[in-house]
Chains A and B, each alone.
Chain A
Amino acid sequence: MAEAAANVSEGLDRLELPVAVRKPRLNSIATLVLPKVAALAVLIGVWQLVFVLRIKPDYAIPSPGTVWASFVDQWQHGFILPAVWSSVHRAAFGYGLCLLIGTPFGLLVARVRLLRLAVGSTISALQSLPSVAWVPLGLIVFGPNETTIFFVIVMGAFPSIVNGMVHAVDQIPPILLRAGRSMGARGVRLWWYVVLPAAMPGYVSGLRQAWSFSWRSLMAAELITTSADLGSGLGQLLSIGGTNVDMAQVVTAILLILAVGLAVDTLVFNPLDRAVRQRRGLLADA
């Protein structure tokens, strides 16, 4: 009798569990990569067509081949890698500062009602302020050096982290907090074991957005802040190209800025975001 009941129970468990149908891996890679390659090919094709039609003079619209040659030339002269490294380095440091400042501040704003009433809307407003607006302010206060660059990154990106944290905490289902409290979790323990892990998906979204804001802020700062002892980043590469009316270098710099931004998002934040969501069953295709 008991065994029969156990069988029924186990049978129902098995029947109710979703059956995983695995798609062929090759197929899924092809469907992921092919559209991107096709889009890129079309883009280069249109570019080449515009060049061939001579709508604008060569110096304004160089051919894809010219840009490629410029890239190879700058690579061989050793301009590219140091510029990329210098920018990535600054972005990483600035972003790290953002994390250190934004995370605890976000927690405080989420937790302390009075603080939220005081600064909550200001932080939302800061998020819509273009970070390039901070450059003149930084230049006057800190001068044309890396401190200004870091200042601009932090001002540009930390509102995203704070807002991400605040909204993530707000969106925690109340039943989870009730469950935590009914198990005896209070104060710091409730935050450590329930609130923070429950807020993780929203926090990671904030981190991801903060990265793109950091990268943009850095470019704005590098484009404007130039000095001999500052060394060159991608923004400076772009700035020099503009000054010299060297469109091939300008396009090269823009493509590099895009590529690095995309690479960090794809290699760091996308997997992090997916991992956090997959764990919680929040992925649509999981």
Chain B
Amino acid sequence: MVWDGWNVEGPVVAPGLMSALTVVDAVAAVDGAAVRLVDSVAIRLDEVTKVFGSGDSRLLAVDRLSMEVNRGELVCLLGASGCGKSTVLNLVAGLETPTRGTVSVPAGNTTLMFQEAALFPWLTVEQNVGMPMRLRGRRRSERSGEVRELLELVRLDRFAKHRPHELSGGMRQRVALARALAQHSEVLLMDEPFGAVDAITRDLLHEDLVRVRHETDVTILFVTHSVREATRLGDRIVVLSSRPGRVLEEFTIPGDGSPAGHELAAAPLVPRITEVLRHEIGRHGRG
């Protein structure tokens, strides 16, 4: 009887709530769909070809490459040397123009991060992070609060007054990450940013990047030649061929949003991705 009572009581209250929720949900869904239709894509490359030089010394770096990166997504471009990964980043950053095809970044501005931290050695950590704001003409009083928040985000608030040469390689890359975020770009283009640090540091930097990404909703296009790094970080992995760069295969990692879930979902893909990559490298060996 008691159970019946509960059973009866449940649906009595529920229908009203349910219908209310459904309406709100539907509106949200329609809204979401509308928003998604307009600008869910952050980066779009359409049949992009890039040729360097001319005549005999002509180099086809990227060949009819088409891909999209959605807002908030972290896509890894994976490939061996000569796959034009850096060229793709430069094209997206607007530092190069495509020979054919179109590159568009509907999301807005882009920021490049390099393998080297490229910090200014004459400035302290906080001055380095505040540099993009300073260049935009924001006064010290206006930028100090945000600089502190960014340093907390990369766990370097205790090192605000240090200079780059007093930090380790991994710490410098975190400063560079904070400085990149200080540019308020919607898209972060990372060119093997953790290529020059040791394995333990790289592991921690991966954790930092995953955390920062979830806290900031930034869209990331991440270039790497490491299958491990790509599967660890990417929501999606685009494997590129070498000389010229074309899309060989795409892998989507169906994670549940948690780092552990991501790792679990990525693990079975590792052998296949490695095989694709090795096959591509081997193709060049056979002449």
A-side residues, CB < 8 A to B, are 2, 5-6, 8-10, 12-13, 16-18, 175-176, 178-179, 182-185, 189, 193-194, 197-198, 200, 279-282, 286
Chain A residues positioned under 8 Å from B204 (CB to CB): 5, 8-9, 12
Q: Is B11 an interface residue (CB 8 A)?
A: no
Q: Looking at chain B, what size class is its interface with the partner chain?
A: 35 or more
Report whether A184 and B155 are in contact in the complex, using a CB–CB cutoff of 8 Å: no
- Among A17, A280, A282, point to the contact of B168 (Cβ < 8 A): A17
Cα–Cα, bound, A6→B207 (Å): 10
Contact B136 A281 (CB under 8 A): no
Do the beta carbons of B122 and A200 come within 8 Å of each other? yes
Q: Are B122 and A185 interface neighbours, CB within 8 A? A: no
Determine the distance from Cα of A13 to Cα of B164 in the docked complex, in whole angstroms.
Answer: 13
User: Within 8 Å CB of A200, what residues of B?
Assistant: 122
B111 interface residue (CB < 8 Å to A): yes
B114 on the A face (CB < 8 A):
yes
Across the interface, B114 reaches (CB within 8 A) one of A6, A12, A178, A189, namely A178
Asked if residues B118 and A176 are in contact (CB atoms below 8 Å), the reply is: yes
Query: Is B163 close to A, CB under 8 A?
Result: yes
**A-B pair number, CB within 8 angstroms:** 78
Let me know if B132 is at the binding interface, CB within 8 A.
yes
* CA–CA, A71 and B13, complex, Å: 110
- B198 CB to nearest A CB, Å: 9
With contacts A9-B204, A176-B120 known, is A183 near B164, CB below 8 A? no
Interface status of B70 (Cβ within 8 A of chain A): no
Chain B residues lying within 8 Å of A281, measured Cβ to Cβ, are: 121, 163-166
Q: List 13 A-B contacts (CB under 8 A).
A: A8-B204, A13-B159, A13-B168, A13-B170, A13-B171, A16-B170, A176-B118, A182-B93, A183-B132, A197-B120, A197-B123, A280-B163, A282-B121
Q: Which residues of B contact A282 (CB under 8 A)?
A: 121
Please name the residue on chain A nearest to B165 by beta carbon.
Answer: A281
* Cβ contact within 8 Å between A10 and B171: no
A9 to B203, CA, bound (A): 10
Specify the chain B residue showing the minimal Cβ separation from A182: B112
